Amino acid sequence: MQAIRTLIFLSLPFAACSQTPAPAPPAPVLGATPTAAGVNLSAKQKAAIGRKIWQNESGGAIKGLTHWNDGEEFPSLGIGHFIWYPKGFNGRWFETWPEFVRYAKSRGATPPAVASSPDCPWNSKAAFYADFDGPRLSSLRNWLSANVPLQTEFIMYKSRAALPKALAGAPAAERPRIEANYNKVGSTPNGVYTLIDYVNFKGDGTNPTERYKGQGWGLLWVLREMKDVPRGPAAAKEFGEAAIRRLNLRIANSPPARGESRWRAGWTNRCKGYGKPL
């Protein structure tokens, strides 16, 4: 789902994505937040972004704050569906739940004790849902539903950290176009949402394990895929169309046993929303 100079993100597929814990980020900016393209996000707009991400991931439902997708080996938690691996499992996707917990604590928040477990305490979907209404998952949902702004700030923080890393890893000849496309998309509040949501949704594109047949689908790959369009709403719409093209390629390249075509309609609908006002 995985940028900006000050608010958005990005990373390139030419450099491996580090799995080491990130340092404690700077304190979040309250109220208006300036973006790389000069857009100021108000507190109201940031709240709207948080609500849209939550809606995208789980229909804005509290029960969706602790979820385990069919066919996956791990649960997805929070408005951004941050993933958390059980002990002994090392998947291809970047694990974001432990990083979010570190972020929350650095902000003075006190997550439920279970949130700080080094590994996800449930080792299967069946075990997870058998305990769904138990004290551990209930406490997580209650805490997450009461801390939506904190989760939104974390998603924005992840965005901010990505673009410099992406540009540093990209071939010099591609950097100007990648940065230009990023700034075209991020020149309106909806474009800022588009970039933030997609990095949270499908990552920044720099992790070499998040590819099929050498082809990725994260932010970097979408920015490279974009056609040349004007900045503003047209760029946000084209970003969504480029994302659909990359995700369709992902489905085509994916192992048949994963059955990824079942997600096509939902992914397409989400990306088409990028062309709509915030």
Tell me: the pLDDT tens digits for 215-235?
Answer: 999 999 999 999 999 999 999
**Tokens 């020149």 belong to which residue?**
187
Say if CB 12 and CB 170 are below 8 A apart: yes
Cα-based angle 239, 34, 247 (whole degrees, multiple of 5): 20
Lowest-confidence region among 19-23, 49-53, 101-105: 19-23
Over residues 195-203, the mean pLDDT reads 88
pTM score, whole prediction? 0.73
Indicate whether 154 pLDDT > 70.
Answer: yes
CA–CA distance, 163 with 28 (Å, rounded to integer): 18
Per domain, the residue ranges of the chain are 33-275
Confidence (pLDDT) at 11: 33
Sorting pLDDT into bands at 50, 70 and 90, what band is 263?
very high
Number of H helices, E strands in the chain: 10, 7
Residue bearing tokens 């972020």:
103
Which amino acid is present at 10? L
Per-residue pLDDT of 57-98, as tens digits, reads: 888 999 999 999 988 999 999 999 999 999 999 887 889 999
Q: What is the pLDDT of residue 137?
A: 97
Residue 39, helix vs strand vs coil: coil
Q: What percent of the chain has pLDDT over 90?
A: 58
For 188, the token pair is 């309106």
- Locus of tokens 């974390």: 154
- Burial (CB < 10 A; 0-12, 13-18, 19+), residue 131, is middle
- Closest Cα partner for 93 from 78, 75, 115? 75
Residue 50's nearest CA partner among 196, 229, 173 is 196
Instruction: Please give the pLDDT value at position 37.
Output: 47
pLDDT tier at 169 (50, 70, 90 boundaries)?
A: low
Q: pLDDT category, 35, cuts 50, 70, 90? A: very low
